[in-house]
Chain A
Amino acid sequence: MTTAVESLPQIEIAQTTRAQLHEIAVQVRDLVKVYRDGTEANREINLDVRRGEVLAIVGPNGAGKTTFLRQITTELRPTAGAIRVFGVDAVAEPERAKRTMGITPQEAGVFERLTVREHFELFARLKHLSKRAARKAAREAIAELELVAETNKRVGALSGGQRRRILIGLALLGGPPLLVLDEPTTGLDPSSRRAVWDVIRRAVSIGATVILSTHYMEEAERLSDRIGVITAGRLIAFGTLDELLARVERSYRVSYRDPINPLSELKIHYCASFAEAQQHIARELLSEYSIERASLEDVYFTLTGEPFDKDEADG
């Protein structure tokens, strides 16, 4: 992966040593976004994204995830705060910051009358690749996204999943050091979703940093190194999955049905330890049950107070 990052100037920020800074891909400080109608979409968000890591942003609908990402991608001007992308001030120099990014917006559209190949070649040229490099990048992207059979098909004739893969492929063109993907797999079938995960993993394996928002807890658990939970515009939790799980005091989950009425709804009981879970099973005389460690879904529930809506994520 060739990048222009090495040539970008390093910045000096108090509290951050030069060595630490070199490891930071994206630095967000005191980020605030208030829309004209007074809605506070983001409030005092602070985080660092390390080079080469995958950060997943999760949160309920309308929590401010997309607003957060759109400020990083320079599409939205912050009300206050600073964003630096590989040392470049993304607020003051949006075009320069964008040169380091591959972006898949949530609601971007493709050109239905262009072929798959035309899409990749023309957008590679718009990313300032030479003609030859653009053709090569297009071939590679098409192969990587498993769209070889569709190369000369009009995009309008492709399925929704294939179009979504094209959008992700366009973000990958030119090997940008930072990928910002807003709900990259929403609406995809499980097979396409896994194909996109593989593409993201391959990009990370050659050095890319990824920030993605997602509705899928499984996606966040499987893909990310660290997870940020945003709700009501605030970043209320940020860390590795283990660090987040440690915040759940009752981290064992017993799932069972009422032994007297086996057709009743599935019940869930949280316990602080495995032993406590066993005690609960004995006390309730349960014959059919399962004991699981808490998942990101439980963390999400604990932190946001809202159950994770699987239907919404699948929709």
Chain B
Amino acid sequence: MTRATDIICVFRIQLAGTRREVGPFLLAAFVFPAAMYLFTNAVVRGEVAAEQSRVRFLAGSIVFSLSLTSISWLGYLLLENRFTGRLKLFATLPLAPSSYVFGMLVFAIAQSAVSTATLLLVGRAAGIQMGPNFPLLIVVILLTILCLCGLGVIIAARARSFSQGSLLTDTLGAGLIFLAPIYYAPDMMPRGLRVFAQLLPTTFAARAIQTTLAGGRAVGNELLALSLMAIVTLALSFRLMKWRED
């Protein structure tokens, strides 16, 4: 019960801080990914702009949004807390570091829920034919967020300075999208990069979201891969996030 209260309080502190920053949040979580969706649609117009491509682009934009909120935006907040002395304030409390991380994860999940729902509405408004398998879609999105948030926490915990950490989270947040075959077919990549791209969490996430948006269920491999990645990144992030220095 105490732990739940701790997590909720950390979440509320972040929420209260961000509610006055709706603009940047919308830009990162919605406007940018939605623009990417429109851009990719425009680029392939006249080619095989089949319905399948539009679903793929929407799935890609959802993953893009998750990446920006979970790595770039969350990473920024974690770095801000660390390098402005706010983390020290948490460290003065009888609060477990894991409760702090969980509170931040809940915050990232809430943000991602808003951005994903908005992008789905945009897809619907754009006339994309979808029959989402919602329970499975939620599971895929949750695992993707956990996996990506883990990366954000690791960077924020290890960065030597605010600018170094910020650069890393921004690069990773966008890089994981453009290195994965999300907005283009895998065979358009150089061969060496293709193998690497297949191992990225964003690749698994985009594939699983695309399948579930189309109402499919065959995402067992993707769920397994995302689960393993989430376990590894979160375990590492909990290990690195500690109040006490040696």
Using a CB–CB cutoff of 8 Å, the interface residues on chain A facing chain B are: 36, 73-77, 94-96, 98-99, 101-105, 107-114, 118, 122-123, 125-128, 167, 170-171
Contact = CB atoms under 8 A, between A and B. Distances in A.
Interface stretch (B10-18, B105-113, B200-208): B10-18
Interface of B: 2, 5-6, 9-10, 12-13, 16-18, 20-21, 84-86, 88-96, 243-246
A29 to B, nearest CB: 19
A114 B85 contact: no
A94 B244 contact: yes
A122 B243 CA distance: 19
B86 A108 contact: yes
B76 to A, nearest CB: 14
A109 B16 contact: no
Contact of A98 (B84, B88, B93): B93
Given A76-B245, A105-B92, A110 B86 contact: yes
Nearest to B8: A125
Contacts of B6: 126
A126 B21 CA distance: 24
Given A75-B243, A108-B86, A109-B86, A114 B13 contact: yes
A75 B91 contact: yes
Contacts of A94: 243-244
A108 B85 CA distance: 4
Contacts, number: 84
A77 B245 CA distance: 6
A107 B88 CA distance: 8
A75 B87 CA distance: 11
Contact of A108 (B10, B88, B243): B88
A257 B171 CA distance: 66
26 contacts: A36-B246, A75-B91, A75-B245, A77-B246, A94-B243, A94-B244, A98-B93, A102-B92, A105-B91, A108-B88, A108-B89, A109-B85, A109-B89, A111-B13, A112-B17, A113-B16, A113-B20, A114-B13, A114-B17, A118-B16, A122-B13, A123-B93, A125-B5, A126-B9, A127-B93, A170-B89
Given A105-B88, A107-B85, A108-B86, A113 B17 contact: yes
A95 B89 contact: no
Given A94-B243, A167-B89, 13 more contacts: A94-B244, A105-B91, A105-B92, A108-B86, A109-B84, A109-B86, A110-B89, A111-B17, A111-B86, A112-B17, A113-B17, A118-B16, A128-B2
A98 B94 contact: yes
A108 B90 CA distance: 9
A102 B85 CA distance: 16
Interface centre among B92, B243, B244 (most CB of A within 10 A): B92
Contacts of A105: 85, 88-89, 91-92
Interface centre among B84, B91, B93, B96 (most CB of A within 10 A): B93
A117 B154 CA distance: 32
Contacts of A102: 92
A-B interface, 3 closest residue pairs, ranked by CB to CB distance from nearest = A109-B85, A103-B92, A109-B84
Contact of B93 (A36, A107, A112, A126): A126
A73 B20 CA distance: 33
A127 B5 CA distance: 10
Contacts of B243: 74-75, 94
B17 A76 contact: no
Nearest to A113: B17
Given A77-B246, A108-B88, A114-B13, A99 B94 contact: yes
Contacts of A127: 93-94
Contacts of A122: 9, 12-13, 16
Contact of B96 (A74, A95, A170): A95
Given A75-B243, A75-B245, A77-B246, A171 B17 contact: no
Contacts of B244: 74-77, 94
A110 B88 CA distance: 10
B74 to A, nearest CB: 16
B150 to A, nearest CB: 23
A113 to B, nearest CB: 4
A122 B10 CA distance: 8
Contacts of A77: 244-246
Nearest to B103: A126
A126 B86 contact: no
A143 to B, nearest CB: 22
A128 B5 contact: yes
A8 B93 CA distance: 18
Contacts of A73: 92
A218 B21 CA distance: 44
A102 B243 CA distance: 16
A126 B88 contact: no
A113 B16 CA distance: 7
B77 to A, nearest CB: 11
Contacts of B92: 73, 98, 101-105, 108, 170-171
B162 to A, nearest CB: 12
Nearest to A130: B5
A122 B88 CA distance: 16
